[in-house]
Amino acid sequence: MARLDQTKTPFFDKIKAYGTSGTTALDVPGHKLGRLDSEFKSFLGENVFLLDANAPKGLDNLSKPKGVIKEAQELAADAFGAEHAYFLINGTSQGIITMIMTAVRAKEKIIIPRNVHKSAINGLILSGAMPIFMKPHMDSELGIANGINLSELRETIMENPDAKAVFVINPTYFGVTSNLKEIVKLAHEYGMLVLVDEAHGAHFGFSDKLPISAMEAGADMSACSIHKTVGSLTQTSILLTQGNLVDQNRVQSTLNILQSTSPSSIFMASLDSARSYMAVYGKEKLEKLIEMAEDTRKRINKLKGLRAITKEYIYNHKGYDYDETKIMVQVSDLGITGFDAYNILSQDCNIQMELAETHLILAVLSIGTTQEDLDKFVEGLKQLRKYKTDKQIRHKIRFTYPDTYERPREAYHAPKKYVRVEDALNEVAAENIMVYPPGIPLVIPGEIINEDILDDLAFYKSQGSTILSDTEDGYIKVVDKDNWIKYEGDLWN
Ligand SMILES: Cc1ncc(COP(=O)(O)O)c(C=O)c1O
């Protein structure tokens, strides 16, 4: 329950006042508060440029907040039930890397599920941490990876009592959570920090009809994509912390390494305003949204060949809890893949889904979703049935992850070579390769490329998915083992 006046938007107010004050701008940015005319400006409107100031007097500094940014961050901490909040202008990716670099140093262990977003792997590269990967629970019916199992975590912790932190995803991209409260209790018994990727759960704390938020569960740090489900501009997130296990000074120093010295004031104003809106109206709007989503699921479940996943399904498939503002629809019984459905809905109905997997498509709703959007979604799904085939959709789920040859950081720094994808078997990957969305790497630096990986890559390519890596299509960057002299330097490498 918030204690402060959540209607306040101190940063937004201040930047508005500055932008409309008629200041003579002899500083950067070069558009001079919108005095440079362009097609871009006439489309966006002048106000966007009036708010786009760099570091004018009185507007505070994100790298060492003392004024209105500090005040706005305190309001955010209050709204999200944290002790401290830090505005992130480079997304939850920045928050995840910061959490890892704050909590774990080179060669120290972090217990982490393997189905993490690529930013967590990048956090391992930058920190030099040694990942102890946990296999998430796999739902073989839907072909997706879910949360982690408490008893397996206990075993992993007991085998690695020297680990510094446990990393948890709350919820997964698909909305499934693990028993976070018990995970926190267990990790804290062993003095380990709990770091939470809450990219898809920033709205959790605003209704008790949603899964528990990281802060409510007692986690130490959580990175929340305010842009994904709360309504701020894309790229804006918040890092939340609480408790005395977190070194706040190290958090700020790490953020300052990772962020621009010219943070966008529009981004920060957008965070300030989205937080206020959610704190004031969120509970009521989320509860209405949950009802609308439930009604939509019921309507979808009346359509032959389609199945909207319910909370009961998640409970029966070892999920701990489910975010009912997400709508997962299994389409494979129509003899089409989720990738087909994603494309058909876009081409025929102008509906943009969040993502597709082999068996399903995913809709991410928010307090900005309207009943009309959901009606169009149901209509679009009805259209899908025209594309029904007799094909048996290949059951595609890997139950294993590649073996690790070396720490991600070590592989990142090793000498490299580029091999054709078809020649990459048994090579050690030197880059993340992922399908986006969801951005969960199929292989990460330091893992041995096996047949499953090559098979997956060929499959996703055949489905027209966007495959992201650092290398030209058709090639993979791998470790040049013949020229690799392992560096046995000190602890900080
Ligand atoms: C599970 C998960 N974690 C982290 C991120 C990174 O969030 P952001 O895009 O805000 O940097 C994403 C983005 O898609 C994600 O899906």
pLDDT of 398 over the 90 cut? no
Instruction: List CB contacts of 112: < 8 A, sequence separation 6 or more.
Output: 120, 124, 131, 132, 133, 134, 166, 167
Ligand 1 pocket check: which of 174, 200, 233 to mutate, most ligand atoms within 8 Å of Cβ? 200
Instruction: Decide whether any atom of ligand 1 lies within 6 Å of the 173 Cβ.
Output: yes
Residue with tokens 């951005």, as numbered in its chain: 439
Residue with tokens 């470790």, as numbered in its chain: 479
Ligand 1 center to 173 CA (angstroms): 9
pLDDT of 261 over the 80 cut? yes
Reported as a single tens digit per residue, the pLDDT across 69-94 is: 999 999 999 999 999 999 999 999 99
Instruction: Decide whether any atom of ligand 1 lies within 6 Å of the 197 Cβ.
Output: yes
* pLDDT bracket for residue 27 (50, 70, 90): very high
Reported as a single tens digit per residue, the pLDDT across 194-206 is: 999 999 999 999 9
Strands 326-330 and 433-436: unpaired
Looking at the chain, the whole-number percentage of residues with pLDDT higher than 90 is 89
Ligand 1 pocket check: which of 86, 119, 169 to mutate, most ligand atoms within 8 Å of Cβ? 119
pLDDT of residue 487: 64
Measure Cα distances from 142 to 145, 203, 317, 329 in Å: 9, 25, 10, 10
Reported as a single tens digit per residue, the pLDDT across 323-371 is: 999 999 999 999 999 999 999 999 999 999 999 999 999 999 999 999 9
pLDDT of residue 25: 95
Task: Please say whether the beta carbons of 414 and 430 come within 8 A.
Answer: yes
**Residue 295 carries which DSSP code?**
H
Ligand 1 pocket check: which of 86, 87, 93, 146 to mutate, most ligand atoms within 8 Å of Cβ? 93
The phi, psi pair for 468, rounded to 5°, reads -110, 135
Reported as a single tens digit per residue, the pLDDT across 118-136 is: 999 999 999 999 999 999 9
Coil, strand or helix: which one is 87? strand
Domains defined along the chain, listed by start:
290-387 (3.90.1150.150), 408-483 (3.90.105.10)
pLDDT of residue 478: 96
pLDDT of residue 490: 55
pLDDT of 485 over the 80 cut? no
Residue 368: is it exposed, middle or buried by C-beta count within 10 angstroms (0-12/13-18/19+)? exposed
Please state the atom number of ligand 1 nearest to the C-alpha of residue 96.
Answer: 4
pLDDT of residue 492: 56
Average pLDDT over residues 387-414: 87
